[in-house]
Amino acid sequence: MNAGETRTWQFVAAACSILLLTTTVGAFAVDLGSARPDPVPYADTVKLGVTAETEQAAERQGATIPRVEIFYSQYRYVVGYAGVAQAISSLDEPGREQQFGYPLAVYASDYSGRSPQCEGGTLTTATNPDWVSVTDAQFVVGSRATLGGESVVVPFSDASDAAAYAEACGGRIVDWETLRRNPPAVPSVGSVQSDIDDRRARADRQATAAATLLDRDVSVVVGRDAPTIQAAVTAAPPNTTVVVPSGTYAGHVTIEKPLTLRGANATIDGGGEGTVIDVQADDVAVTGVTIRGVGNATRSENASVSGDWDAPIQRGYGGGDAGVAAVNVSGTYVRNVSIHTPANGVLFRRVPGGVVDDLRVYGSEEWLDGFMGVIAMHEPVVVQESRVEGGRDGVYLHRAHGTVVRNNTFLNQRFGVHLMYTSETLLADNVARGQIGSGIVVMTRPTANAIVGNDVRHANGGIFVGGSRSYVARNVVVDTDRGMVTYATQSRYEHNVLYGNEVGFAASTVVPSNHVVDNDFVGNDRHATAGPGPLRIFTEDGRGNYWDGAYDMRFGADGSPTLGRAYSPTDELDRRLHRDDAAVTMSAAPTVRGLRAFRGTTPGFRQASIIDLAPLRRPTNPELLAQARNETAVGGGAA
């Protein structure tokens, strides 16, 4: 026997041992018996449902959120939902029983005896609710109590208490079976996908409206009509243009009226102290200037902020020095501006209608020494056709719901785009390179974000998504430690290309609820990994993903080639198929085929955390795959 054959059979023997061990251990689910388990504290559940921001807002208002907890027959964790409608939607998801088994018990918050009120649309109680089995409960649907813009379903163990609440707050009373047959509508990821064109159109309108600020008549020219930029700004009538001719100008500029500041190869140097251009009026445009000498303060303990819970965030992230800063104004437009900064490039806080276009920011070489290329808080902005090199984050968003970040290039930061408590954004067609953290990261459980058409390479991490109802599609991620990491729930990942990464896709949610289909996994060391939890099924309507190396090609009845079995990127054999000939030999064994078929249909058999029941025989995104194989040029705004 030659060395190659010896190696093959050593691998086969080891793999057989692994398969026998996992069969013995994994094929038996815990038998909880016929007794219904008792409720547990909600804090001890694996939590899903409303966003972190909605929960925090409810807490600040003294509101209560009806909750549901579900015990499954083949799942070791109790799953908790903030919101009855969200729990029902989860129960009705395709493949739920295959992944979790059947529900052993379902409990809901019991508002009987708790004197619930709905004043101002906020559900409040005198004391915290206990638990009631949903089959013993009555539910008030359609009352005036709302949460996150949706009507709250309120459960009661006592029918008379439900009737009293409905009389006071409106709504109708139904039992659990009626509620299951006619569940309340909940938003879905499909609505995010269908809204992408509208988000682009809204950004177009916002950018077009801002661009009209460049059409104002010239009133003052620096050096001819006024000695300094500040003097020119002070002298200029509102709604006119101040022209700054070529040259370098020292000092800071404060703009307190609607005005356009237009440079002609002009440099403004702040001398290394403070913010260089401070916008304090609506409808201000800054264009055609280079800004240097920004102060190095990345935070301001004395920043003037409101007293709500996230005031420290505004001071820490929204109060430092910047090339251009605008606070509590509207319609600020920054176009064709270059900023060299040890702190922020552009800082917008509460600036509705703000637009950043064709910006170039040069930040610190070490990310810990700098701050944000563009930072936006509390209002949606548009950031487009721009380039940020260095600094901490290329774009940082905090509660800037509805922002559009598109066609930008981010180089060598911690994160290219960083979302905190920010929902309903569009992150489209951006290029990220060399991030020490990840190209795009979405944190703090937001909802309804769309991440499409981005190209992330040569970074420690690719695209990390948290929250719920995210739509992640047509992205290319190349040469990262982990290409995509999903902390998100109820989200859709489709038509992405994961190429040449250490790990292509990391499924990190404990409760699987995402749709992963029509993606191409090529040349990764490991195509996909999964954390604790039940079987993840990466198949929808008989269609899965393309996995480089998923062998076992057969021919269908019509003579066309097809893959003859399911594929599991977490299986000890399958995950090696594209890298090890011995794995190919072992995969053809009849015993292995039988075990895989059993594993794919039995919820208690957890060894394979991810399975694709209908892997594709060829790449489904050939143009994106060709893009992945050829380095994208990086220049201008986006590549």
Helix (H) or strand (E) holding 516: strand 515-517
Structure confidence by residue, pLDDT tens digits, 183-209: 988 888 999 999 999 999 999 999 999
Residue 4 has pLDDT above 60, yes or no: no
Q: Residue 575: what pLDDT?
A: 66
Q: What pLDDT band is residue 49 in, cutting at 50, 70 and 90?
A: confident
Give Cβ neighbours of residue 228 (< 8 Å, ≥ 6 apart). 222, 249, 251
Q: Which residues fall within 8 angstroms of residue 168, CB to CB, at 6 or more apart?
A: 117, 118
Q: At residue 24, does pLDDT exceed 50?
A: no
Q: Looking at residue 202, what is its pLDDT?
A: 98
Identity of the highest mean pLDDT range in 286-290, 537-541, 583-587, 595-599: 286-290
Q: What is the mean pLDDT of residues 391-396?
A: 98
CA atoms 589, 590, 591, 597: torsion sign = positive
What average pLDDT does this structure show over 40-63?
A: 81
CB 442 within 8 A of CB 161: no
- Per-residue pLDDT reduced to its tens digit, 113-135: 999 999 999 999 989 999 999 99
What pLDDT, on a 0 to 100 scale, did the predictor assign at position 353? 98
pLDDT over 60 (residue 3): no
Provide the 3-class DSSP secondary structure of residue 431.
Answer: strand
For tokens 């707050």, what's the residue? 169
Strand partners, 108: 68, 132
The fraction of the chain above a pLDDT of 70, given in percent, is 84
Better-predicted residue by pLDDT, 329 or 99: 329
pLDDT at residue 597 in the model: 52
Backbone dihedral angles phi then psi of residue 209, each to the nearest 5 degrees: -65, -40
pLDDT for residue 416? 98
Dump pLDDT digits (tens) for 509-568: 877 889 999 999 999 999 999 987 778 889 999 899 999 987 654 545 555 445 557 888
Q: Quick check: 345 pLDDT over 70?
A: yes
Instruction: Write down the pLDDT at residue 302.
Output: 57
What local confidence, expressed as pLDDT, does residue 593 receive? 52
Per-residue model confidence (pLDDT) at position 585:
45
pLDDT at 563: 55
Structure tokens at 615: 């892997």
Please state the pTM of the whole predicted model. Answer: 0.86
Q: How does the average pLDDT of the chain come out, rounded? A: 86
Q: Is the pLDDT of residue 5 over 60?
A: no
In sequence order, the 6+-apart residues with CB closer than 8 A to the CB of 34 are none
- In this prediction, residue 18 has a pLDDT band, given cuts at 50, 70 and 90, of very low
Extended strands (E) in 222-301: 240-244, 247-250, 253-255, 259-269, 277-279, 285-292
| pLDDT of 159 higher than 80 | yes
In this prediction, residues 51-58 reach a mean pLDDT of 74
